[in-house]
A and B are shown apart, each in its own frame.
Chain A
Amino acid sequence: MSLYPAFARPRDLGQAAEIMGSLSTGAMIIAGGQELMPSVNYGALMPEVYIDVGQIAALKGITEEDGGIQIGSSTVHRDVQDSEVIKSKLPLLSYAATQIGGGMQVHNRGTIGGNIVAMHPLYDILPSLLALGAEVDVLKGEGEARVALADLMKDASHGLGSESLLVRIHLKPMTPSAGWSYEKLKITAGGYGSANAAAIVTLDGDKITGLRVVVGAVSALPVDMSDALGGCRGQAWSEHLAEEIEEKASAEVTDPLSDHQGDGDWRRAMAGVMARRAVETAVSKAG
């Protein structure tokens, strides 16, 4: 192996699978490079081979099929933001994509798949995708398998493994009457959040009938609080309910991050605040 990395440009998924299967763990997939390149520049990662999947057409674009919406993993954030299909049928995801850090430059090159497989606790797409119940197609060897995104998110250190490629994301359109919100607590416009929360709410009259809440940026992986907050169902929005949500959401964060974005106790407290704000905004939009 040369001192410098080699480069491979598979033309289709078959070639990509073949290359990934034949190389050691030193091979790394690159699409937009917005996650990988900062780590390379700082010496945290040293790929032996870059596998550039940017030319593979099957990984790109947004389609509607069989009542669902499919997003290719190398679709850039800007295209997710601008897509009329996503705006009208998955407004939560469209908005969350605008909140990704790094500014317009990163939105233009960073991909939705890269944002997922990075499994970075502070990234912005996972809470919304988990709240939306996303499924993903993963290519490994000859075959593609469809799995719930939540099942991939069980172990922050594992990810997909070096032989696998995230192909596309499957989503169901949101109920048109559902209210939604993505709240991000941040210091600067293009920065990371110290806590964030995605919420989707359906109402019957003023009573909450459906509730999905996922909180991110407070622990190694996003925390799905939909079950823990299940007691909200059947209730109308009130100050009392707001306090209950905040308290229960904070209690769900058992192992908070403690980093330059804020210490653990504060992060746990902010998890509650973001969950409360997200549900309140979602309730106000539902109807």
Chain B
Amino acid sequence: MEDMLEDTVLVNLRINGKLHELEIPAHKSLLDLLRDDLNLTGTHMGCMTGHCGACTVSIDGRVAKSCITLAATLGRAKITTIEGLTEDDGTLSPIQQAFWDEAGFQCAFCAPGMLMCTAELLEDNSDPSDEEIETALAGNLCRCTGYQSIRRAVKAAADKKNKSTREATE
């Protein structure tokens, strides 16, 4: 059975559209891989226990906490980090712009989690209620805003997204 054990693991990850073939040690978290190896420091290291949500990224279209995701288990996956929300020319996405306009962050340490969860929420739900917003963001802690401006930002993001979808179809 010893031949089934690997000291390093090969993974193929498409991160923000770019393909990375990486040989990584078995114990490496996705958070360390993103921040230390790929210099994608927009994903933040907070609690390391899965409580705070600052390390949130999207894996195959579903948000996950990268500090408690073992990178070796991913094999082939499509990953989007907060850097991936921005257009190539640096233009903010409607969600990012809405958080900016509504002061949806102060120190912004929690922003990766708030923004990535908002992105996933608005994929399936173009007009979320307060309760739906709270459920979607329940895995993220913010110690600055008191959450009210974040809820406003999510609603503004939904409006912006709906408006740009309407304009695109007209």
Prevailing SS type, chain B contact patch: mixed
Convert B11-28 into 0s and 1s, putting 1 for each residue whose CB lies closer than 8 angstroms to a CB of A.
000000000000001110
Say yes or no: is A38 at the interface (Cβ < 8 Å to chain B): yes
A8 touches B5 (CB 8 A): yes
Q: Tell me the smallest distance from the CB of A146 to a CB of chain B, in Å.
A: 27
Tell me, in angstroms, the Cα distance from A42 to B50 when the chains sit together. 11
**Which of B59, B73, B113 contacts A30, CB < 8 Å?**
B73
**Which of B1, B4, B72, B139 contacts A104, CB < 8 Å?**
B139
Which residue on A lies nearest to B75, using beta carbons? A55
Q: Which residues of B contact A15 (CB under 8 A)?
A: 4
A30 touches B4 (CB 8 A): no
Say yes or no: is A6 at the interface (Cβ < 8 Å to chain B): yes
**Which of B6, B49, B53 contacts A105, CB < 8 Å?**
B53
Q: Which residues of B contact A157 (CB under 8 A)?
A: none
Which residue on A lies nearest to B62, using beta carbons? A108
How many of chain B's residues touch chain A, expressed as a range?
35 or more
Tell me, in angstroms, the Cα distance from A108 to B75 when the chains sit together. 17
Of residues 1 to 45 in A, which have CB atoms within 8 Å of B's CB atoms? 2, 4-10, 15, 18-19, 22-23, 30, 33-34, 37-38, 40-42
Prevailing SS type, chain A contact patch: mixed
Which of B63-71, B78-86, B91-99 is the interface stretch? B63-71
Of residues 102 to 155 in B, which have CB atoms within 8 Å of A's CB atoms? 113, 117, 120-121, 134-140
Say yes or no: is B56 at the interface (Cβ < 8 Å to chain A): yes
A8 touches B4 (CB 8 A): yes
Tell me, in angstroms, the Cα distance from A102 to B138 when the chains sit together. 7
What number of A residues sit within 8 Å (CB to CB) of B? 38
Which of A46-54, A135-143, A232-240, A274-282 is the interface stretch? A46-54
Q: Tell me the smallest distance from the CB of A19 to a CB of chain B, in Å.
A: 6
A41 touches B27 (CB 8 A): no
Say yes or no: is B9 at the interface (Cβ < 8 Å to chain A): yes
Say yes or no: is B163 at the interface (Cβ < 8 Å to chain A): no
Q: Tell me the smallest distance from the CB of B147 to a CB of chain A, in Å.
A: 10
B70 touches A105 (CB 8 A): no
Q: Which residues of A contact B117 (CB under 8 A)?
A: 103-105
Convert A233-250 into 0s and 1s, putting 1 for each residue whose CB lies closer than 8 angstroms to a CB of B.
000000000000000000
| Contacts known (A50-B72, A108-B62); A37 close to B7, Cβ less than 8 A | no
| Contacts known (A37-B50, A38-B49, A55-B75); A18 close to B7, Cβ less than 8 A | no
Given A18-B1, A33-B69, A42-B49, 4 more contacts at CB 8 Å? A4-B25, A4-B27, A9-B4, A103-B140
A-B contact pairs, 18 of them (CB 8 A): A4-B26, A6-B7, A6-B26, A9-B9, A10-B4, A30-B73, A34-B50, A37-B70, A41-B29, A42-B48, A52-B73, A55-B75, A98-B135, A103-B136, A105-B63, A105-B117, A189-B138, A190-B139
Sorted from nearest, which 3 A-B pairs have the closest CB atoms? A103-B139, A7-B26, A190-B138
Interface residues of A (CB under 8 A from B): 2, 4-10, 15, 18-19, 22-23, 30, 33-34, 37-38, 40-42, 49-50, 52, 54-55, 78, 98, 102-106, 108-109, 188-190
